[in-house]
Structure 1
Amino acid sequence: MPKGKRKGKSDRGRFDGSLHTSDDDSYNDNNSVISSYSENKSLEDGEDIEEFAHEQFEDKLIEMLDGLSQKSSQGRINCIQSLRKALIKKYVPNFVKERHFTICDSIEKSLKKGGGLEKAAAAELAPLISVQLGEEDAGEIVDKTLRPVLMTVACDGSVGAAARAKCCLALGMMGFLSGRQLGDTLSLMQNLETIFSASYLKGDGSIPNVTAEVANLHAAALSAWTLLLTNMPLGSLTDLMDSKALPSLDQLSELLESPHLEVRLTAGEALALIFEEGRKDSADFADDFAVYITDVIKKLATDSHKYRAKKDRKQQRATFRDILSYIEDDVVPDVTVKFGREVLMLDTWARRKQYDALCTVLGPGINIHLGENDLLRDIFEITAPIVQPHDTPAHAQQHMERCRKRLLNAAAFKARTISRAKNRDKRSDF
């Protein structure tokens, strides 16, 4: 006897009149309808939809935190990356403040015992915690707890260059946000210099042979060093360079001869920032050096070597044209950033560097944090937004009502789907 045709997925949802249901089945079915109706009714009666969505978001964050302690290395990496993406999308300082000890402990364990990928993921998460906490005391605790282990990994030659680069960027951002004393900042900058100084010219004037991965590490260390330079007190730069607490302009200019694009670009930005800070102290800051470096930058701004990629040549020419314009004419190209109904002007090299560094940490979430994060608004001196005519209470109420209805429908659909799934018996196919 041939076997009957097996029912597919489409047959399972099809009503068949030959099937009989017992009283119990009917009772369960009614329960599903009543429970779904009651859930939807409670939502329609005025439950705060935003609070409901926020609670769901925090529940997911708690699940990610629980996953940071699992045995699987890949599982921990996935949870770290998911937590980082969630904290980028939403500003939740209170949630992070209540659990910063747990998060720091997990990051510290991953940095000490994890593999290269886990170390890199943990290093990416670390500065995000500082961004979320802002000027809270907990932010200083995070910096004090994680800085030693981040520095250990960054200086460890046995660790992969990619993970070390992430640690350097994390150290730069956390040091910038914490606003530590000048002595602590200088110590951190000197440690970073020991890393990127490997790209200085050799004693005989030859260019060191550096792989692409190591070059990215040197660029990351120099980028973090440059970010910390924006925290220098006014009038201190010249004295620090004269006392050799900071590298000289000649040493930094040697990095412009690197065969790697990222090192050249980062070195150019560092030199522009040094000139900007130095000219605040003295209008004729390093005039003799400016004449020499102008010729070098002109060559980079008009570079047309075919052995370099077309995209790299284009990026290099654009960057060094801006640097040349500043060194020669004191002109900084204005960059305008729009977020919401507000506008941020990046009219100095310091602001451009700070914004680029925060974009590296926050990615697409930078606009959200610029609008809500008080620390970022203080850094860029963003005042309260001007109320537009269409920002009237009536217009805002209509917008909130539309959002509420949309969220209400989404929540009701989810509740109905969950209720039906619980009461659907897929084993009743015959």
Structure 2
Amino acid sequence: MGRKSSQRKNAVMLDSEDADSVSSSSTYRSEMIVSGAEEVQVDKEALLDQCVNALYEKRGSTREDALASIIEAFNSDIQHDFVEKKFATMLQQCLNSIKRGSSKEIALASHVLGLLALTAGPGDKAHEMLEESVSPITEALKSRSEASKISALLECLAIITFVGGEEPEETEKSMQLMWQVIHPKIGPNVATAKPSPPMITMMVSAWSFLLTTVGGLALNPKSWQGSISYFSTLLDKDDRAVRIAAGEALALVFEVGSLEKFSVEDKGSSDSSVDEANKSKDILHIQGLRAKVLNQVRSLSVEAGGKGSAKKDLNTQRNTFREILEFLEEGYTPESSMKIGGDSLTTSTWRQLIQLNFLRHFLGGGFVKHMQENEFLHDVFGFTPKKKLLSGVEHRISGPEKRLYKSPNSVANKTRTQFRNKQRMLSQDKNVGYYTAGDQV
């Protein structure tokens, strides 16, 4: 009883022996001492400390509530100082939750890991997280019992690879792990559960998100053969979210270029005459694939919709596929603009749009806060809030921030990579004859 009393005096109680110790994520916010008319504000860092300590508790529901509260705290504020102090503990406890927790706990822990990576930014911490997380995430993905759990794991793997991946090989390894969720390597007598539409949608979205960071020439030519054909089959599925994700993936593949790596088998012949013949066949094959995709995209851009079809979802599909059609036919990439606290964030490529939409979905209610204050995201999108420019207050660059600007993910490096990839796409598409409306991109 003394222990419990002491915890009450400290305004937060996380005791796994008490069934009422944690009933919801609001518990941590609401347990404050009120003396007369005066309210004592509990220090946010102390609350986060209590949440992290609760991850050691035996009761799963206690850990789940603690994870939910950590997510809320990381969405409402950029917890750089806390991450500096508690990074290793949070990483290990979240990985423990992924190894032993319920589906709900695994999903929550996966989200915390993603937030931890985005808060830490690129560098040693994020790279360590990627190295430590791949194995437990891979094991957890093998049990495809619940779509929500698998989707959270895929989203987590995408985020931590986006931030922590330092070499193209690391990124492509994560992309292959995602691909195996839908195309598992199984024996001839082993049955596997059919992936659900939400699972397929998240896999395609997460895969595309990582493809935005890898140039076409860096890809293994044997890894993605047939992927254009696969995405094309998804355009015929009944689920609208699956169709939209597949359409955006195809648009990105065409923007990245090196289409032969996504469509045809690498013959590897040493005979030059055979090579030339194979090259001609490959060109015809790619042109045929592109023509098929173009017809599918054109149909989806004007789909009338069926009975009970939600108008908003139908309009989203039409608008998306009109943009894809315009890109494939004319070479024009989509431009978007959104307000972040009065400042405009713009995108002008499929890469940027896919990155923005994925991060926006992952951060949810914390998206605006992170876009306003997270230096890593500023760097990714080349976005600087005006309030920072006009404040007149000197901004001291910390160690982690210095790493951001030197990182391969820096806006300067991303811009150069995008330019080179765009030029490569132009060169390749001219040779194959993809665009019929001049050389516009």
2:212 to 217, 230, 249: 230
Offset, 1:386: 7.8
CA distance change for structure 1 residues 164 and 244 in 2, over 3 Å: closer, same or farther? closer
1:254 to 233, 238, 254: 233
1:314 aligns with 315
TM-score, scaled to structure 1: 0.69
Distance 1:234 1:378 in 2: 22
CA contact (8 A) 1:190 1:246 kept: no
AA aligned to 2:365 is P
CA distance change for structure 1 residues 387 and 193 in 2, over 3 Å: closer, same or farther? closer
State yes or no: 1:220 paired with 2:202: yes
Offset, 1:81: 0.7
2:248 to 259, 263, 269: 269
CA distance change for structure 1 residues 178 and 387 in 2, over 3 Å: closer, same or farther? closer
CA contact (8 A) 1:173 1:357 kept: no
SS at match of 2:176: helix
Greater Cα radius of gyration, structure 1 or 2: 1
1:340 aligns with 341
Offset, 1:313: 2.5
AA aligned to 2:209 is L
1:413 aligns with none
CA contact (8 A) 1:252 1:267 kept: yes
CA distance change for structure 1 residues 232 and 136 in 2, over 3 Å: closer, same or farther? closer
SS at match of 2:344: strand
SS at match of 2:337: strand
Distance 2:95 2:152 in 1: 14
CA distance change for structure 1 residues 287 and 222 in 2, over 3 Å: closer, same or farther? same
State yes or no: 1:167 paired with 2:168: no
AA aligned to 1:362 is L
CA contact (8 A) 2:123 2:164 kept: no
CA distance change for structure 1 residues 392 and 133 in 2, over 3 Å: closer, same or farther? closer
CA contact (8 A) 2:235 2:243 kept: yes
> What stretches of structure 2 of length at least 5 have no aligned partner?
1-34, 185-191, 261-282, 394-441
Distance 1:122 1:386 in 2: 34
- Residues 26-425 of structure 1: pairs in structure 2 closer than 5 A: 56-157=43-144, 159-197=145-183, 214-233=196-215, 235-236=217-218, 240-241=220-221, 243-278=222-257, 286-307=286-307, 309-311=309-311, 312-383=313-384, 385=386, 391=390
CA-based RMSD: 3.1
CA distance change for structure 1 residues 314 and 308 in 2, over 3 Å: closer, same or farther? farther
1:6 aligns with none
Offset, 1:110: 1.0
Offset, 1:272: 0.6
Offset, 1:189: 1.2
TM-score, scaled to structure 2: 0.67
CA contact (8 A) 1:154 1:165 kept: no
CA contact (8 A) 2:130 2:165 kept: no
Distance 1:170 1:184 in 2: 15
Instruction: Kindly provide the CA deviation profile for residues 141-199 of structure 1, in whole angstroms up to 9, marking residues without a partner as x.
Output: 22222222112112323x3222011101111111111133122222221221122348x
Offset, 1:305: 4.0
Offset, 1:249: 1.5
Instruction: Kindly provide the CA deviation profile for residues 182-222 of structure 1, in whole angstroms up to 9, marking residues without a partner as x.
Output: 22222221221122348xxxxxxxxx9957xx221121111
Distance 1:271 1:79 in 2: 39
SS at match of 2:43: helix
SS at match of 1:231: coil
Greater fraction helix: 1
State percent identity of aligned pairs: 24
AA aligned to 2:306 is K
Offset, 1:66: 1.8
AA aligned to 1:327 is L
Distance 1:350 1:69 in 2: 40
Distance 2:45 2:299 in 1: 53
AA aligned to 2:252 is L
* Higher alpha-carbon deviation: 221-230 or 63-72: 63-72
> What stretches of structure 1 of length at least 5 have no aligned partner?
1-34, 41-51, 199-207, 395-430
